[in-house]
Structure 1
């Protein structure tokens, strides 16, 4: 996959051979908040993970930078997450959405994640450029409704494990991460309820360097037709 990498020096392009996608979950630094999030999901019928952080594998073909994804059913929803990629030993940070089938999630968390594309930003940042002020980055999400955009998530990267901590935890479970795109897990929902709509927009804001990554896409529900 080809990405544009924004650097404090000179921007560049990166061609990354993504072989698989790993979705980390329940990666909050505050374990009390993690337990609250697990309880929040349990109220929606989502089974608690056997261990945290949880790790789910998704085929590389699910990773897209397209402006629209097609889904089955009306109960799918995005989640704003930063994405970690490796470019020859140099960590790159992107922004993605762990779009998930919430109805299927009540029966199988793994299948609910594997059945949806994972949109991400076509632009990445060099981790070295933001490492010193990492905890000041802000992660937000909005869902488009019939009346306009509605605030969905709002938190800082300080609430989540750092990229290196996530890679360490994920690596313990799956081994070498060469060729992997690793999603970070997400911040809590503003109103504690899943929101479904025809559009999703996530932003990762860097107040120090005055820039943002954006992952925005339309969601098209495929018709339920049997031939």
Structure 2
């Protein structure tokens, strides 16, 4: 078989470098902007589909009223958030949409970053994702701008809950992409969490400015600065 057609060849100009293990020790708020530009790899029967992460949201700690683990709520669903960072936390919302999160921080400190938008790296990746969406794609955000859209496009569901994202070669993992410090990042409040009370207005959503694959462009977005 020609190397270019090998089903598990990553079609990317980037080297195959996993995120450093210490990356997953960050809190969700630290990890969310740092995940921008990194690559999400989905192994499929069609080959390794590679996407660039362009939008994230932070859900960090037991004090965050927007988090499933607020107040230390430890259930069968949230248990994965209490594990060591590096796992995928996947859940279903509205009975129809799956959401992919990256668990971070040390055990018993429930932190997770919601992946809200991804950008396919090649036309081959985009073609695979569009076939899974099975709708007319009028603009890039229709393909994978939103947590439910990207999960459908990449065929991510509850069967992948708990997958180690720090272990390349499985069904789903993360690799190094662009240096997030080099990106024009903006931040805004998170989306659709009215129950979070005073945490509703926290600017804990991060995205690459003007990227066409983000779910929603916030009119009052703020420039993000590294501290």
Same fold (TM > 0.5): no
Bigger strand share = 1
**TM, length-normalised to structure 1:** 0.28
